[in-house]
């Protein structure tokens, strides 16, 4: 049973399902561990809620509370500890993750807190960045609640709705894998575009007839 395989994880939890879902959402939202299933977990939980004997309203409510609480903790950690945890060569708390999220936050302001919910990795660091930047706490809380409610309800209900189709219900494992791939695809595309841009900006060194080197931008 792997935490990165939401279908297998949820199917093997029994009575602890709701608690574990809440814990994973809480940790992924605000405790600086972005490599847990987020969107795929919510989607799969919504899809399998009847098989897991979970009330859909209760499931969504628990996810909302866990997501909102996680972001609140992330904000407070950012405000208290700031950048001291981040290093260029760190395995998880890399400086580049913080910088990328700061750029995301700067472009979209308060909406970044809502939008970040739907972007893996970014949603883990957005509350931390808001805290580091001393973003107004009341405003952060309002945006956090809006984002937590929108994310928890939309992704879980999407899984519930699509679960009505036999092709989806019979291929839960495949759907979970596809959800993970779709979640990380924007990050992969962004990484490739940045590499391409960096490569095109690399100076080209050529030699002239008199053996002097010239650098062409």
Burial class (CB in 10 A: 0-12, 13-18, 19+), 195: exposed
For 82, the token pair is: 């700031």
Q: List alpha helices for 120-171, DSSP H.
A: 122-132, 137-162, 166-169
Q: How far is CA 50 from the centre of its chain?
A: 26
- Model confidence over 111-160: pLDDT tens digits? 888 888 887 777 888 888 888 877 888 989 999 999 999 999 988 998 88
Exposure of 58 in the CB half-sphere (CA atoms within 13 A): 9
Domain boundaries in the chain? 6-216
Looking at residues 54-65, what average pLDDT do you find?
93
Q: What does pTM read for this prediction?
A: 0.69
Phi, psi (rounded to 5 degrees) for 136: -50, 125
Helix or strand run (H / E) with residue 214: strand 213-216
Closest Cα partner for 77 from 87, 89, 66, 69? Answer: 69
pLDDT score, position 159? 84
């Amino acid at each position: 049973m792997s935490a990165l395989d939401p279908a297998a994880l949820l199917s093997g939890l029994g009575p602890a399902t709701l608690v574990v879902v809440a814990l994973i959402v809480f940790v992924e939202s605000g405790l600086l561990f972005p490599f847990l299933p987020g969107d795929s977990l919510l989607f799969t939980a919504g899809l399998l809620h009847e098989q897991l004997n979970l009330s859909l309203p209760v499931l969504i409510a628990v996810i909302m509370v866990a997501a909102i609480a996680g972001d609140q903790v992330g904000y407070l950690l950012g405000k208290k500890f700031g950048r001291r945890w981040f290093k260029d060569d760190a395995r998880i708390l890399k400086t580049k993750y913080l910088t990328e999220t700061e750029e995301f936050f700067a472009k979209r302001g308060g909406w970044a807190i809502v939008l970040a919910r739907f972007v893996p990795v970014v949603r883990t660091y957005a509350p931390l960045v808001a805290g580091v930047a001393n973003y107004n706490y009341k405003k952060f809380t309002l945006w956090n609640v809006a984002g937590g409610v929108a994310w928890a309800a939309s992704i879980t209900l999407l899984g519930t709705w699509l679960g009505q189709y036999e092709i989806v219900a019979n291929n839960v494992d495949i759907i979970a894998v596809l959800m993970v791939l779709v979640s990380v695809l924007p990050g992969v595309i962004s990484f490739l575009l940045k590499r391409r841009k960096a490569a095109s900006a690399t100076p080209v060194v050529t030699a002239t007839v008199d053996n002097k080197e010239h650098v062409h931008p």
